[in-house]
Structure 1
Amino acid sequence: MYLTRIELSHFRSHRRTVVDLDPRPVAIHGPNGAGKTNLIEAVSMLSPGRGLRRAAADEMMRQPEALGWRIGAELRRGEALHEIDTRVEPDHGRAVRIDGKAVPQSALGQLCRVLWLVPSMDRLWIEGADGRRRFLDRVTLSFLPGHAEASLAYEKAMRERNRMLKDQVRDPGWYRAVEAQMADAGADIVAGRAQAVARLSAAQKNAGTSFPVSDLSIDDPEDAPSFSLEALEQSRPRDMAAGRTLVGPHRADLRATYRDKGVPAAQCSTGEQKALLVSLILANARAIRDEIGAPPLLLLDEIAAHLDAGRRAALYDEVEALGAQAWMTGTGAELFVELGDRARHIEVTEVGGISRITG
């Protein structure tokens, strides 16, 4: 699975960018602000959702034109070559076409698997649980594309339940249908997350990686009962007092422990936390490769940060062994010298507010 071509039109700083590719990793270098991350963000939009920056679609329009944006790509998967087109026009939602046919965003998840690691994730283990849940859900989605539908159904039902709680609705009859929807979708979310963690753990076992292995677990708040329809019913008086739902998978947290040291990830050094994240992304990619027969696209933004030369070289070797088309960015070409001709090298510069690429 790899891109043979990608085209950007009026996407952030890229007015018109076309890159032809082969299966090798892509090493992208250039000064800060030149448009490196914008390029790999475009690749992330070949998967469902809001991409690696979690930006609204209109925020990605090149300014000041604000004409909308388009990303076109050719994806090689096995013997098949697929054409992907996704675009946004002013005052319209995002449209997706695969091989000329209009499809929902969820179809992208069935066709193209994309994983990413970006600098904003470096504080994953020491910030709030929201970011760790999003990380866990992205991992789950990479294995189970239907996880997105379960999450949307759960969130929709929870919003309705929270509205009733805030309005102090006390008639149990009003809650039954919406709580049943939450329970069904929530059960799928819980099961999917557990399956994803199990697959990550299996992929880390005996992987021969140069990066530290972590033991993972999914924790609920200490006072939360096991999630079920009955738990929602029993929690209703407490939830009404709080004005929101206090039990369910939206309260879960992902925990990681550095296995060899027995130290929680939150207590590890900055470099160790980065290495643990890299290890999990690589494990995720190996698990996908073993499941579908092809590694996913990897987007590794500013990957050299907090990695010394030895760890960088180890990462490049593991990416090559994985066989993934990994898009890696850094400020200087020297950060990718160990890759040599094993990668496609691209320089991104900015001229008059427009990103340009060479290489």
Structure 2
Amino acid sequence: MHVARLSLHDFRSYRQLDIALDPGATAFIGRNGQGKTNLVEAIDYLSRLGSHRVATDAPLVRAGAEQGLVRAAVVRDGREAIIEVELNPGRANRARINRSQVPRPREILGLVRTVVFSPEDLTLVKGDPSDRRRFLDDLLVLRTPRLAGVRADYDRVLRQRNSLLKTARNARRGSSSQDSALSTLGTWDAHLAGTGAELLEERLALVDALRPYVGKAYEAVARGASRDDAHIAYKPSFDLEGATRRDDLATRLLVEVERRRGDELDRGISLVGPHRDELVLTLGHSNAEGQTSLPVKGYASHGESWSFALALRLASYDLLRADGDDPILILDDVFAELDTERRQQLAELVAGAEQVLVTAAVAADVPEALAGTRFLVGGGEVRRDG
């Protein structure tokens, strides 16, 4: 898979842009603030309908414009398709495939697949559990696009259920409003268990599939490491008691919801479900007592943290390739954060991808293994170098 052409209209800093891209390695070189990251961000947006830099779409539309547009010609298995998304802050976005509008933007998910390495990746290791949950869910949707609907349904159920819990908490005890909220809560408990169990089942399977790739990738990017050093594990918000199938997980979730009912009513928030789960990252360390595993967050050095973050992204890429796909790799300003050895290791590991898009402030930051087409970015222009 590769992007053959990228067109932008009122996206970020670009009023209008149209560039042709080649397979293999392409580097966008320019000083900070010149718009090079905006280019790869646009391609990544088509992959997951979100940005790796901001949480909402509003900043993606050029200041003063009412809407933005991202369009790409994507070549996959020798066939080309035109994918585009119209960004409408405050209103529903619209998406098209080969100029024909689709019912919902998420219909385009899976047509473009990207794996992004960026300085923000350290939050996968040092950030909140929500950052790691988002990492898992984004990868789930890349592998199985229909799960975007499951995730959206779960979020909708969670919002409604939290609203009922707050109403019940704030209402006078025994009042009609409290009775109404409590009587309706059972219905939303069932919805939470149904959608939550499906999401949980998929996450558990994903972590099992990803685990060996993480160890292999960590060995490749960390000095002197073995594939047994890096570990990932899924930590649910309740005891699964060995359940792994959806029906059993739904039953266990409902049991736990009923057990925690008092706590949820006291706090006015849902305390059980995939939204409270954690992806646990640990590293093996040798000491006088032998080999021990410690959480990456809080114990790993800066270099170890970076290596683990890179391993998570590389593992994602390798897993997608094992599924029979070859996603577009985006290395967004990541080489400036790495020492020379890690730069070379990462470059050599990804150089064989069908398309690698790199951003860098100076050309010297791009390793020789990724020498290819280069664009100079500055003054609102993007021009091919040479």
- Do Structure 1 and Structure 2 share a fold, with TM-score over 0.5? yes
Unaligned runs of 5+ in 1: none
Contact 2:57 2:89 in 1 (8 A): no
Deviation at 1:288, TM superposition (A): 0.7
The match for 1:182 is 192
Does 2:382 align with 1:356? yes
Deviation at 1:91, TM superposition (A): 5.2
Deviation at 1:185, TM superposition (A): 0.6
Q: Which amino acid aligns with 1:20?
A: A
Contact 1:7 1:19 in 2 (8 A): yes
The match for 2:318 is 286
Q: Which has the larger radius of gyration?
A: 2
Q: Which amino acid aligns with 1:356?
A: V
Say if 1:340 and 1:162 are closer, same or farther in 2 by CA, change over 3 A.
Answer: closer
2:350 to 319, 323, 332: 319
Q: Deviations over 1:13-38 (max 9, x none)?
A: 11222221121122222111011111
The match for 1:199 is 209
Residues of 1 paired with 2:37 and 2:361: CA distance?
A: 11
Residues of 2 paired with 1:347 and 1:13: CA distance?
A: 15
Residues of 1 paired with 2:284 and 2:355: CA distance?
A: 29
The match for 1:173 is 183
Does 2:232 align with 1:216? yes
Contact 1:271 1:306 in 2 (8 A): no
Contact 2:347 2:367 in 1 (8 A): no
Q: Secondary structure at the match of 2:31?
A: coil
The match for 1:236 is 261
Q: Secondary structure at the match of 1:7?
A: strand
Query: Equivalent pairs: percent with the same residue?
Result: 28
Residues of 1 paired with 2:216 and 2:370: CA distance?
A: 28
Contact 1:8 1:14 in 2 (8 A): yes
Contact 1:74 1:83 in 2 (8 A): yes
Say if 1:297 and 1:312 are closer, same or farther in 2 by CA, change over 3 A.
Answer: same
TM-score (norm 2): 0.84
Q: How many residues align?
A: 350
Give matches, 1:101-120, under 5 Å.
101-103=100-102, 104-120=104-120
Residues of 2 paired with 1:348 and 1:235: CA distance?
A: 55
Deviation at 1:39, TM superposition (A): 1.0
Q: Secondary structure at the match of 1:10?
A: strand
Q: Deviations over 1:219-270 (max 9, x none)?
A: 135xx44451222222212100011011111101111122466442111111
TM-score (norm 1): 0.90
The match for 2:244 is none
Does 2:179 align with 1:147? no
When the two chains are superposed, the root-mean-square deviation of aligned CA atoms in Å is 2.2
Unaligned runs of 5+ in 2: 169-177, 241-251, 287-292
Q: Which amino acid aligns with 1:237?
A: G
The match for 2:14 is 14
The match for 2:132 is 132
Residues of 2 paired with 1:29 and 1:163: CA distance?
A: 48
Say if 1:186 and 1:5 are closer, same or farther in 2 by CA, change over 3 A.
Answer: same
Residues of 1 paired with 2:157 and 2:218: CA distance?
A: 44
Contact 2:119 2:337 in 1 (8 A): no
